[in-house]
Amino acid sequence: QRLINEVAFSPEGGLLGIPVRDTIKRETGQGRVATTVPRVGLWRAQTPQLFPLDTLTTALDQAHSSGRDCTDEAEAIEQLSLTPRLVESDWCNLKITSPADLVLAELILEQQAIHRCGG
């Protein structure tokens, strides 16, 4: 609901996310640490992401026709030189992109069910 309230009328849309807490390392290409990436200003993108349909359609069409591989809809929007709004969420709002993410989500849901039922 917070995402809808904050971006419903924004021409650039927005997405849920959380500030990065992890230490991020950039590697050399040979499996060694090249540098530590400062966390300031880094966010982990989450879903849902909310964009005006015509803007999103244009962004995805342009990404497809140029052969760009966007990792999410927000990246396609960024390629139009737009700046989607980041709306802070929480760490439990997982972005499911791999089988491992699904396993983690199932564990969280199981724990929530146990605690809700008095467990």
pLDDT tens series, the chain, 119 aa: 899 999 988 999 999 999 999 999 999 999 999 999 999 999 999 999 999 999 999 999 999 999 999 999 999 999 999 999 999 998 878 778 889 989 988 998 888 887 776 55
Closest CA to 56 of 5, 7, 109: 7
Tell me what percent of the chain is helix, strand and coil, each rounded to the nearest 5. Answer: 35, 25, 40
Residue ranges in the chain assigned as alpha helix (H): 2-7, 53-66, 73-78, 99-116
Cα separations in angstroms, 65 against 69, 70, 74, 84, 94? 10, 12, 17, 22, 30
- Tell me if the domain spanning 2-88 has CATH number 3.90.550.10: yes
The predicted structure's pLDDT at residue 114 = 78
pTM above threshold 0.75: yes
The predicted structure's pLDDT at residue 90 = 87
The predicted structure's pLDDT at residue 22 = 95
The predicted structure's pLDDT at residue 97 = 82
The predicted structure's pLDDT at residue 118 = 55
The predicted structure's pLDDT at residue 78 = 97
